[in-house]
Structure formats: structure tokens, C-alpha cells
Structure 1
Amino acid sequence: MTSPNSGAGASRRNFLGLVGLGTAAVAGGPLLAGCSEKPAGSGGAQNLDKFADLLPTHKDLALNLTPDVKGIRPVPDGYSKYPSTLVDAITDKPGTSGTQVTAMTPAWGPAPPGAAQSAYLQAVNAELGTPVNFTIQDGNTYADKLNAMLGARDVPDLLCVPGWEVEKIPRFSEAIKVLFEDLTDHLKGDAVNAYPMLATFPTGSWRNALWNERLMAVPNPTDGPFPWALFTRKDLLDERSLAVPKNLDELLTMAKQVTDPAKKVWAFSDAFAMIQMFHKVPGSKQGWRLKSDGTPEFKYETPEFRQALEVMAKIYKDGLVHPDLVASKGADAAQLFAKSGQVVFHQAGVGFWQGAQAEHQKTNPKLNIQPVPVFSATGGDPLVWGDDEPISYTFIKKGLAKERVEELLRIINWCSAPLGTQEAQLRDFGVEGKHHTRTPNGPVKTDLAFKEIANQFFFISGRNPTVGPFPDTPNLLQSLLAYSNDMVKYLEKDPWDGVKLEMPASYKANQVPIEDKFTDVLRGRRPLSDVDAIVAEWKANGGEEARQLLAGSLPKAGR
């Protein structure tokens, strides 16, 4: 697995959630501000290292698996061969009540069928002993649903909140306190031994699951630090004797060469995040960095952002973006790229690579998806956005009986089984003969698997991160880790690493409206001359307040 708004803290799959504003009343005032109100809440910061005594004790499972390719941290290790012998890691069914578990998770692409029509869900639920009933929401608009749900104070038993969406929900820490169970006493120290899969998670991932000085969620550790990559259809480039571009001039020249509306081929899906990265726009905490005098500045204020905005606006103006995507949020971009070849360069999370190659090579054996190595458009080494923060968090509804919370944690624990276990094979590949076929290299998914398996159980769990094996794309692991190990050398340093930030509510509430205004500029609906006014509006509506918070929350070593 691996996907985000146009900032860096976005995601690990092709996630592009846009937040909406909901309303709710809680003791002491509104939880989420309504559209007619200025959101209250000045934000806050906590040093996560102060709460080490609340974290679970790390303990590895003895599965005796040796990686074939070592990742340069935070890139995980890779496995090219599926284990020949699988372990039954969990002997007892985790579900004991038989009472249905409700859960909400995101999906990108067509929604999978529900349990009544899904052999996959039926098989996993049978192993769990207590059925999980998923509400699947469109990942592109997942934050809208989250805000409405939190505003209504109506949450399921298990709720997946992607890490990049946390950044956009006003007063999220207050919502957590009101709506979700405190898991500290269930999981801290040796208490986690009751859930041995959870004990294998990296300690840093647990650290990020702290809110309000308590352990409030189960993290889903990242299996790769990069939110974005720019992919190309190398098979289409090869047909035209074109090489993968190595700099911005080559990319833009090639974009004009491959765009041919008469043949229904365009160069790009929306690629603004990557265009920003090529120009070394800051990405930490969604776009912050420190100036030479030590004061924080946001990406909108930088000349690099202005350059990137101008380049992307010209890409749109020159007609190099697929017209079906110009007026949309890009929900069909992956299909236009990987299936039909109507898009030649596609921005997506790194995890997009293997899944798209595996699915679409069945109908197009020549398909060859490859990443374009990140380059600098301004000289010197490239800058690569990324972090090792969790992909997502699983929250448990507040107010459930202790026995029910423990049952839910056992279910999460089962779903978190690592590579080398029977549980992980069922979770990832479904039922042999239905969802996968056995090969010497491991299970290979069938068409039914691609229809029914949409990472439902992945998004209510986590696991000690690994990459591969990929039996249906056996050569991809080496390429993926070679790219990742090369790019990680240029990973941007985050001045606020180790600090949990709750950004001011006005700042969070204004993120999407401001991003929408820049989208209007990119797509020619507003002139570039409006940028200064947009930035001034951002400063007045939470930007300056956020700067003060960030300045005061810098770790002492960074002052």
C-alpha cells in the first residue's frame, strides 16, 4: 500500500480529499465551526517524546523472514518471494460476541460490493467470528464525510481517519476527546501483549497516535515515506523512441510531443504536487519551512511556489491536461492513465504503481508503468516530500463496554497480521480458487479479487511495514525499492519532527477555500495577478495565527 492534497502531508494512495465544514454542539462550544461562524480554537502543540511511558512495548514476532532488498529507513525492507510456509498466528477467533461491527473506510475507484455479495468479506468475517460491516466512502471526498459524521457526533464502532485528513479537520483533538475511546490503558507498556500483532508496530507510529496526552488510536504504519510520484507510461514513450525525462525542460517538451487530442492522448493528469516538488516548494506540515532567520514561512509566500504555479497554469493553458480532468477532482485519472493510455504522465501515491500494473497488464501485456525520478528545476539536489508518519488511524467509538473495546482490539490485531501468516494471506488475497491462484511465486489475484478487495481490512488495522512480494509483477520490487532508496536521500527535513500540532481552527477551515482559489488560477478561471490577494486572505484567515503557533512549538534543538 502506499497516496493527498497538493501539499506533502497528503497520503500514500491516490488520495485527494477536500474537506467540508460541518457543525456540532459540545460542552464548551462548537466542535466544528459552521460555515457562518469563524472557527474557534487557537490550536496547540505537544512534544511527543514526553509521553514515552504511554506507548506500547515493542516486540517482534518470530517469523524468520529475511528481506531480499534492504530499505534505507524510513523505506521498509522488501521481499521478492512469498513465504513457502505460512504460520497460523492467531488460533482463537477474535470476535466472541457475534454482534456486528460497523466500520467506515475509504476506497478509490469503484466501490466494492457489500458482504451479502462479496465472497471475500464473507470469508474474512467467518475467520473473525464477528462480522464487520463496512461503509465504503469515496476517498476523493472522504473528508467531507468525516466532517459531516464528526459534526453529527454519529460515528461507527471503527473509524479510519487518513493522516492527511487530520490536518484539515478543525479542532480535531476536541472531537477525539468527545467521540473516541481512550486506548492508553488497553495498550501501553506490556498491556499490548494481549495484541501481539500491534506490538510489532514501530514505536514512532504509536507516538503519532497520541492526542491530548493519551493514546487514542491504532496507527497504520506507513510502508513508504513518499506521498507522491510522477508515473509515466514507459511503453508509450518507447513506441515514440522517447526516454524518461530527466529535467523540467525535457518533461515540458515531451508533454507537447505526446499530446494529440485527435488521438485522445494528453500528457498529464493534475500534476501540481509534483511540479511544486520539482521547484523545491516546502512540504513539511503541508508546506512550512524555516527562513534563514529561523521564522516559519508557508509555501504560498515563497518564490518557489509562485514559479510552480506559473508552470502548472501554463500546462493547463497549453491544453496538456486531459480535458475530462480539468473540471473534476480527478477520480478517473488512474483509468485514463493505466487502462486507456489517454494520459501519459500521472501523479499518484507510490503504492499506485504495483496495483495498477498488476490489474491492467492482464489486458495490455506491453504495459510498463515507471516513475520519473524527482529532479530539481532550480539547480542542485532535488527536494522530496515525505515523512514516516502513519498512513491512517483507527479510532474506536467512545462509550462501548470494556469487553466490546477488547473485542474490537482483537479484531484489529487479527487484521494486522504480517507477511508470512495465514491471516495476512486471507486479508490481502482472499480465498484460493476464488480470489487468487497459487503459483510458485505466491498467490496471484483474480479478476474477482480486484472487484471485491479494496483494502477494507487494511484500513481498520496496521502492520509492521514491508514491501512485496508481488508475484503478479515479479520484477517490480527491485524497481520500486531502487527508486525509493534513491529518492529517500533527498527527503526534506521537517523542523517540527516529533511535535504533534493542532493547527488553529481558522487555519484548518480556510485550507480548502484557499486551495480552491489557487485551483481557479491554475485552470485559468482567475488571473495570476490575483495570487497576492489570495495570499493576503490566507494570512488574515489563520495563516499568521498558524505561524505564531509553529514558531512557538519548535523543538529546542531547532531554535
Structure 2
Amino acid sequence: MDPTHPSGATDRRRFLALFGLGTAALASGGLLTGCSKEAGSRGSATKADAVKGVLPNYRAVDLIKPDIPGQGPIPQGFLTYPRELVVSVPDKPGAGGPEIKTMSPWWGPTPPALGRNSYLDAVNAQLGVTVNPSLQDGNTYSDKLSAVLGARDVPDLLVGPNWEIDKISRFSDAVKALFEDLTDYLKGDAVHAYPNLAALSTGAWEYAAWGGRLYSVPFPTDGPFAFAMFHRKDLTDAAGVGAPTSTDELYEFGKKMTRADRGVWAFGSVFSMVQQYFGCPGLQNGWRRKPDGGLVYKYELPEYRAALEFTARLFGEGLVHPDTVATKGADEKQLFNGGKILMYQDGLGAWQGMQGEQVKVTPTFDMQPIPVFGAGATKPVIWGSEKPIFFTFVKKGLGKARTEEILRVLNWGAAPFGSREYELREYGVEGRHFTRAADGSPIPTELGRKEKASQYDYLGGRVPVKVRSGDTPNYVQDYLGYHRATITHLEPDLFAGIKLELPANYSKVLVPSEDKINDILRGRRPIGDLDQVAREFRSGGGDEGRAFLEQALADNGR
């Protein structure tokens, strides 16, 4: 659903649109025992006040003035690339010690490894210590994560996607056993020894604590929204069909644009966005506060039933691509790029990378999100959060000097836009990994596309920005315009600042329940089975999750 050109855009190119895959992959995930869920794990919730006591003191790093100022969780926008770059980290962070081994996800072709990659050589020369990245397939990252945690064999730096680690039973125990407590290095003014880390938002750091202690460095999201509904505007404009502005028009779009005899279908996966149009909750997998103060789950709401009926109709009338109907893992990006589907949901981070790549193949290619709307008189509820996309953990027991060296490397990795370090991290070496457009913005070369992946991207976090590039000249205005138009519909987060580790039975019932919903969507079960699915969800752990979440709110006075 991750976040993206996987590098600069938090690589939501694959992930936020992959929430479903991440959850499914963790259906049998857990900690230190093949990472299987342990029945009886009752969950835990660290109070927001305890987290606040260990937070770093924020200090902005402002190198250049944005063309479009940020607004709350909306990032800053830059319409020109700076001609003069600033040195953000004047001294090499590394002390020339042993190489730093890392593990992080990647959703793309495997780049050449250390020793055969000039991009890695260039960055490591600036770091003063060799970083040896291990990039793992993002689609199966939960398996690798489970393996290293279960074996207690973690690298010096390990990147954990939020949707993976949130599902691991007793993950806080793994954190304490395997990773360094960074509290004394980073809390309060101590973080100012690492100024680029101090510039990360307080809201992002709030999620980086376990058990009331700081154990990770967050990688902030580049926008709060989990999904958008994208359409091939170039193809729909050519067909004389405008973007839908209601659920009725969305259905009519499907009827007009599906041409199965030509191998074209209107839709790929759309159910998550349809739920938002119908006003369904997404908070903590689908909870909403009731007027009496308790919580109600989405399966119990008439809005959800209506969204399910609507989407099942799209499937039933053959408006959804057969690959989406048949599997959970259809390559919808490829289908979308090839004009085989004209609309599907994805994370907003996918946008710039796909647009930049595809316009080289199809010059008229125009990927645009549809402005959100409600179903009838219902106002949309748009899911999202300021929760970081990734967390980077430091291996426990490396010693103070080595831990500080690694934190200096992470500080280098967090260098902001407008710095020389940012350019090297994002694009590599000019003339080798990128050239410049007339306006000075970098354009990756073929070597840059081959060698540059997410080797350093998720290690140190970064202050999110959106930057115009020559191959996506209108992207920044479009991206920020969509955010500004949508932010008023963002679902409030009742649990902001509360660190939750969900009860095992509740976590275990989520995936099989959604599998049953998928059967209803695809016509393998009748709509009326929703009531049975809701009962089985409640008895299988849903009511336990409800009680846990209600108590967490009560303990925090909410």
C-alpha cells in the first residue's frame, strides 16, 4: 500500500498500499519462536505521559525557504532545486571502525552489492565508515524479520516497517532483548548532538518508544493519508469520461470504462477507498467511538455493510480486473501502467516514482488521484496518521563509542533537503548517477537507477519535503493540492501518543476475518454472511481487543 518511488518518497510505492499484504504475511508472525503469536498475550499500552518524558527536544534545521509552506502533517513543497547546496554535516561521522551491517526492505530490482556498486562507494567515502546494506524483498520482509528476531541475530541497524512490527506478539520484549536503549543518547537536549535527528517532528518520535524508553529512530511519513484512488487521467480524458464525484458516478465510471473484450477493466483494488467514501472508520483497523464512549467495530456499522454491498456489486458485474478477483497479489501497478485497469487505490508515495518512470514510456501518461467524496449525504472519513513509516533499531551491546558512531551516521542520513548530503543520498554522484535538467534538478541516469535503491533512505529518518523534478514538473503542486483539499476529512486519532501492543487473540483474528470479507467481495459468500463474520470476529478476539482499547483510552483520560 510503501510508501513511492521507494527511495525519496518513503517508498510508498509499494507499502501503504501493501498494508493488506503485510498483515497477511504476519498472520503467523510473532517473536522469538518462529515469531508465532502466543495465545494469552494480553497486550500492553504505555501511557502518553510516560512517552513524553523521554522525547528529544525539537530543533528545526532550516536551510532554504519552501515555495509551498508545510501545514500540520502536510510536507513542505519546493518548486525549484537549489543551485547552491549547504554542507549539513561538516565532519565525517564514521571513525573508520568495522563495517555497519544493515537490513531494510526494498520493493524493486536488487541493486549491485557492496564492492560492485559505485553509489555505495561514494556514500561510504563520505561517511568515513563502511555501511554494508542488506536489502530484502519488501513483499516477504515479515518472514525475514521473523527469522532474525527468532534467531536473535540482528544486524547493527535493522529497519522495521510499522505495519510489520505492530503485529508481532510481545515485540516490546524483543526490543528490550535485542536493541539498544537510546534514551540517554537522545532525550531532551542530548539529541542536539545530532541536529538532523533533532529536526524530526515530535509527533514522529512519540511512536519510537517502547516501554517508556526510546529504542529507535523514526522515519516520518511524507503525508498522513494511507491511500488515494488513482486514475489514468490521460486515458479517461481521451474517452471523454471525467473523474467521479459520487459513488453513483464511480459505478457509472466502471460501466463506461470496462471493455473486457479489449482486455481493459475499470478497477483494480478499491475497497479500502470505498469504505472511506461511505464514512467507515479505519482507526486501529476499524474502530470508532460510540456516543456513550465505548468503541464499535466497522463490521457492526451500516456504513460498512453499504460499502461492502457497493464493492461486491463492482466485482459481481465484472468491472474489476480478473487478476484482482482471483488473487491478493495482482501486480496492479503493472496493470495500471499498461492501461489494463484505469483506477485503483495505492499509497500516495507511489505517485511521483510511477509518473516519472512511465512518462518516459508513454509521454502522455498522467496518473492523478480522484478528489474524495462521500456516499450520498454521508461525509467521507479519510484514514491516516502521523505514525512513522519505518523505525530503525541499533543492535544492543555495541558499546557507547560504537553506538554514538552509528547515531552520527543516522544523523548524516537525516540530512535535509538543500544539503550536499541529501543530494548524495538521494541521487548519488553528478555525472555518474544523475544529470541535471535545465532548472538544476537531478535526473537519474541508467546507472543511478540500477545502483541506487533504499540502501540509506530509511536509516536516519528525514524531514519530509516534496521537490519538483524535470520528469514530474507538476507533481509537487498536485500532491500538496490534494492534501490541502483532503486534510479536513482526516479521521482523528484517538490513540495518538499511546504506545499499543495489541492482545494476541485480537491480532490473530484480524487476517482471517478480512479473508472472509474478501470472499464476500468476490461473490464466494453472500452479503448476509457479514453478520456471521462479525460474530466470529467478536468471539475470536474482537471483543477482547475492544476492551483493551477502551481501557487504554480510559487510562489516558480520553
Change (3 A) 1:220 1:91: same
Change (3 A) 1:324 1:117: farther
Paired amino acid for 1:408? I
The structural deviation recorded for 1:62 is: 4.4
Name 2:422's counterpart in structure 1: 424
Contact 1:109 1:331 survives alignment (8 Å):
no
Q: Distance in 2 between matches of 1:489 and 1:73?
A: 12
Name 1:549's counterpart in structure 2: 548
Paired amino acid for 1:416? A
SS of equivalent residue, structure 1 residue 294: coil
The structural deviation recorded for 1:250 is: 1.0
Contact 1:280 1:376 survives alignment (8 Å):
yes
SS of equivalent residue, structure 2 residue 467: coil
Listed as ranges, the matches of 1:27-426 within 5 Å are 32-33=35-36, 39-63=39-63, 65-330=64-329, 332-338=331-337, 340-426=338-424
Q: Distance in 1 between matches of 2:424 and 2:82?
A: 14
Q: Distance in 2 between matches of 1:173 and 1:556?
A: 20
Contact 1:495 1:558 survives alignment (8 Å):
no
Paired amino acid for 1:286? N
Which moved further from structure 2: 192-201 or 309-318? 309-318
SS of equivalent residue, structure 1 residue 78: strand
Change (3 A) 1:157 1:517: farther
Contact 1:267 1:344 survives alignment (8 Å):
yes
Relative to the length of structure 2, the TM-score reads 0.92
Q: Distance in 2 between matches of 1:199 and 1:256?
A: 52
Name 1:517's counterpart in structure 2: 516
Paired amino acid for 2:533? I
Paired amino acid for 1:428? E
Paired amino acid for 1:212? G
Q: Distance in 2 between matches of 1:525 and 1:113?
A: 44
Name 1:468's counterpart in structure 2: 467
Contact 1:221 1:464 survives alignment (8 Å):
yes
The structural deviation recorded for 1:31 is: 9.1
The structural deviation recorded for 1:12 is: 4.2
Contact 1:180 1:216 survives alignment (8 Å):
yes
Contact 1:496 1:555 survives alignment (8 Å):
no
Query: Could you tell me the percent identity over the aligned residues?
Result: 47
The structural deviation recorded for 1:373 is: 1.0
Cα shift readout 1:316-355 (whole Å, capped 9, x = no counterpart): 22222222333333352112212x1111102111111111
Paired amino acid for 2:402? R
The structural deviation recorded for 1:434 is: 2.5
SS of equivalent residue, structure 1 residue 393: strand
The structural deviation recorded for 1:479 is: 1.2
Name 1:7's counterpart in structure 2: none
SS of equivalent residue, structure 2 residue 200: coil
SS of equivalent residue, structure 1 residue 451: helix
The structural deviation recorded for 1:283 is: 0.9
Q: Distance in 2 between matches of 1:461 and 1:329?
A: 32
Change (3 A) 1:59 1:555: farther
Name 1:449's counterpart in structure 2: 448
Q: How many residues align?
A: 544
Q: Distance in 2 between matches of 1:72 and 1:550?
A: 30
Contact 2:31 2:174 survives alignment (8 Å):
no
The structural deviation recorded for 1:13 is: 5.8
SS of equivalent residue, structure 2 residue 296: strand
SS of equivalent residue, structure 2 residue 304: helix
| 1:21 lines up with 2:28 in the alignment | yes
Q: Distance in 2 between matches of 1:145 and 1:301?
A: 36
Q: Distance in 2 between matches of 1:352 and 1:458?
A: 16
Q: Distance in 2 between matches of 1:322 and 1:122?
A: 44
Paired amino acid for 2:247? L
SS of equivalent residue, structure 1 residue 70: coil
Q: Distance in 1 between matches of 2:116 and 2:220?
A: 30
Name 2:480's counterpart in structure 1: 481
The structural deviation recorded for 1:555 is: 5.5
Change (3 A) 1:202 1:224: same
Cα shift readout 1:422-445 (whole Å, capped 9, x = no counterpart): 110011112212221112241122
Change (3 A) 1:449 1:20: farther
Relative to the length of structure 1, the TM-score reads 0.92
Paired amino acid for 2:42? S
Name 2:8's counterpart in structure 1: none
Cα shift readout 1:125-160 (whole Å, capped 9, x = no counterpart): 222232222222232332333233323322222111
The structural deviation recorded for 1:410 is: 1.4
Contact 2:218 2:388 survives alignment (8 Å):
yes
Name 2:7's counterpart in structure 1: none
Contact 2:247 2:376 survives alignment (8 Å):
no
The structural deviation recorded for 1:66 is: 1.2
Paired amino acid for 2:398? L
SS of equivalent residue, structure 2 residue 499: strand
Change (3 A) 1:22 1:382: closer
- Unaligned stretches of 5+ in structure 2? 5-13
Q: Structure 1 runs of 4+ off > 4 angstroms?
A: 10-15, 22-25, 555-559
The structural deviation recorded for 1:47 is: 2.1
Q: Distance in 1 between matches of 2:466 and 2:183?
A: 29
Q: Distance in 2 between matches of 1:228 and 1:111?
A: 26
Q: Distance in 1 between matches of 2:386 and 2:513?
A: 27
The structural deviation recorded for 1:303 is: 1.8
